[in-house]
């Protein structure tokens, strides 16, 4: 990063090269460790609040074990997205917080669709085991989940390819988040519900 003197020198060269006056508007931004910590803190607080709200909502609408399974799946989504950022060495900015919350909402929507079908099958398939009910429910909703996610992914992909840099910065985590959220809602949330049922949670 440039210090203040170096930035002033760069601005001076730009003014000289393009004949700009002193009142011409030029701005520079610098993100240091303090800003990075602030973004991280805001991201953590936002995710915790969203997770608590999701747990309360699902526990009220379904049962507590459904809520626990959904929250664990959301934690998986968040950690996986952070791992993607670390692998690609992508800068974490304020748009990352918005992207994380968007993915949390998208993932929980897919999960609720599966849980709604599980609740319906629990009432209809009284002799079936939790594993059988979960497998049946996932099969019944998988086509819808995959096609919905594929449509969303293609739209975000177009934004990433043809959008400006600020849009691409927001679209990048959404691309990965759509894939991760779809995977977790199908292959993690349901099996977790089965496990919690067996443990009597």
How does pLDDT run across 160-197, given as a tens digit for each residue? 999 888 888 889 989 999 999 999 999 999 999 999 99
Q: What is the pLDDT of residue 162?
A: 92
Q: What is the band of 22 on the pLDDT scale with cuts at 50, 70, 90?
A: low
Quote the tokens at residue 72: 């664990």
Where along the chain do the CATH 1.20.1640.10 domains lie?
A: 35-198
Q: What is the band of 6 on the pLDDT scale with cuts at 50, 70, 90?
A: confident
Nearest to 15 by CA among 28, 24, 6, 7: 24
In the chain, % of residues over pLDDT 90: 40
Q: What is the pLDDT of residue 24?
A: 58
Own/partner pairs, 164-168, CB within 8 angstroms, 24+ separation: 166/95
Q: Check whether 46 has a pLDDT greater than 90.
A: no
Quote the tokens at residue 166: 């600020």
Average the pLDDT over each of 22-31, 113-122, 145-154, 184-193 and give the range with the smallest value.
Answer: 22-31
Q: What is the band of 29 on the pLDDT scale with cuts at 50, 70, 90?
A: low
For residues 192 and 1, give the distance between their C-alpha atoms in angstroms, rounded to a whole number: 46
**CATH class of the domain defined by 35-198:** mainly alpha
102 φ, ψ (degrees, to nearest 5): -65, -45
Q: What is the band of 33 on the pLDDT scale with cuts at 50, 70, 90?
A: low
HEC letters along 86-143: HHCCCCCCHHHHHHHHHHHHHHHHHHHHHHHHHHHHHHHCCCCCHHHHHHHHHHHHHH
Nearest to 75 by CA among 180, 174, 156, 179: 180
């Amino acid at each position: 990063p440039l210090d203040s003197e170096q930035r002033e020198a760069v601005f001076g060269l730009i003014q000289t090269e393009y004949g700009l006056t002193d009142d011409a508007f030029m701005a520079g931004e610098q993100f240091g460790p303090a800003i990075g910590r602030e973004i991280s803190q805001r991201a953590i607080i936002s995710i915790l609040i969203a997770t608590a709200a999701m747990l309360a909502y699902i526990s009220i609408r379904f049962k507590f074990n459904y809520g626990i399974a959904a929250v664990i799946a959301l934690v998986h989504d968040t950690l996986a997205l952070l791992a993607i950022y670390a692998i690609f060495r992508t800068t974490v900015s304020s748009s990352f917080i918005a992207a994380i919350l968007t993915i949390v909402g998208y993932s929980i929507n897919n999960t609720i669709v599966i849980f709604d079908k599980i609740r319906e099958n629990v009432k209809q398939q009284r002799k079936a085991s939790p594993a059988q009910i979960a497998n049946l429910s996932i099969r019944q909703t998988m086509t819808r989940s995959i096609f919905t996610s594929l449509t969303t992914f293609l739209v975000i992909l177009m934004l990433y390819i043809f959008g400006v840099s600020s849009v691409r910065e927001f679209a990048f985590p959404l691309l990965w988040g759509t894939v991760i959220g779809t995977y977790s809602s199908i292959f993690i949330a349901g099996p977790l519900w089965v496990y919690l049922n067996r443990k009597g949670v």
